[in-house]
A = this chain, B = another copy of it.
Amino acid sequence: MDEVGRQARWERRTELPLAVASLVFLIMYAIQVLAQGLPGAWRDLCAAVMYLAWLMFVVDYGVRWRLSGQGLRFVPAHKLDTVVVLLPLLRPLRVVKVYEAVQRRHGEPRLSLYARVIAYAGVTTVLLGFACSLAVYDEERGAPGTQMHTFGDALWWACATLTTVGYGDVVPVTARGRVIAVGLMMCGLALLGAVTGSFSSWLLQVFSLESDRRNGGGPSED
């Protein structure tokens, strides 16, 4: 019980700093990718802040592992945390977690389940799409035969990919760019599933409510 208490306290205290570090990481990464003309000293500063933010996540991961007292079973039980520590690109996924925690602190969530699913899916998609655009743009820039000349092209490509439209006017041509792209496609597939699934279950709910109303209360009446 003491273990659990210490773990919960640690998570409550590190919540806000980690969320800030997460956003700082993304902003620093964006600056490093987009502001090519930056003087060397500033670029070094950016990189330093980025690694600092990363270090914070690694330390947090280590402390929570220690506090959990689970030994090696901690890694498979915290898949998302592990992936996020290894791949700084997926850092935005943590923001969703923070958002959830903030909601919980304010008592009952005010949004309905469907609105929350749509909100999570939307926030995750926007942040991941932005991060992937940065990463792919960084890989593709200057590659021979690429059509991705500006960051706007990268964003346009990310939108077409996430909605599974896939025009194909701008596509990654480097091997590493394509690997990131495949990750984004899967994310798009999941987004589609979330939107469709939410709509489908919301509709079923509305319908059963409506048929209840018509029957004068339905199953609860007899």
Interface positions, chain A 147-196, Cβ under 8 Å from B, are 152, 156, 159-161, 163-169, 171, 175, 178, 181-182, 185-186, 188-196
Q: Are B201 and A182 in contact (CB under 8 A)?
A: no
Of A37-45, A56-64, A77-85, A203-211, the segment with at least 4 beta carbons within 8 Å of chain B is: A203-211
In the assembly, what is the distance between CA of A206 and CA of B219, in Å? 19
Known: A165-B161, A166-B160, A167-B166. A197 touches B202 (CB 8 A): yes
Interface positions, chain A 2-49, Cβ under 8 Å from B, are none
Q: Are A167 and B164 in contact (CB under 8 A)?
A: no
In the assembly, what is the distance between CA of A168 and CA of B164, in Å? 12
What residues of chain B lie closer than 8 Å to A67, measured between beta carbons? Answer: none
Q: Indicate which residue in B161, B167, B196 contacts A200 across the interface (CB closer than 8 Å).
A: B196
Q: Are A201 and B195 in contact (CB under 8 A)?
A: no
A199 touches B (CB below 8 Å) = yes
In the assembly, what is the distance between CA of A21 and CA of B161, in Å? 37
Kindly provide the distance from the CB of A46 to the nearest chain B CB, expressed in whole angstroms. Answer: 27
What residues of chain B lie closer than 8 Å to A199, measured between beta carbons? Answer: 190, 193-194, 196-197
A123 touches B (CB below 8 Å) = no
Chain A interface main SS type: helix
A113 touches B (CB below 8 Å) = yes
Q: Are B201 and A204 in contact (CB under 8 A)?
A: yes
Q: Are B205 and A207 in contact (CB under 8 A)?
A: yes
- 26 A-B Cβ contacts within 8 A? A113-B206, A113-B207, A114-B203, A156-B178, A156-B182, A159-B185, A161-B165, A163-B188, A164-B166, A165-B165, A168-B168, A169-B171, A189-B192, A190-B195, A192-B193, A192-B195, A197-B199, A198-B200, A200-B201, A200-B204, A201-B203, A201-B207, A204-B204, A204-B205, A205-B207, A219-B219
Beyond A113-B203, A196-B197, 13 extra complex contacts between A and B, CB < 8 Å: A117-B203, A152-B178, A163-B186, A163-B189, A164-B165, A165-B188, A189-B192, A193-B199, A196-B200, A197-B197, A197-B198, A198-B203, A201-B204
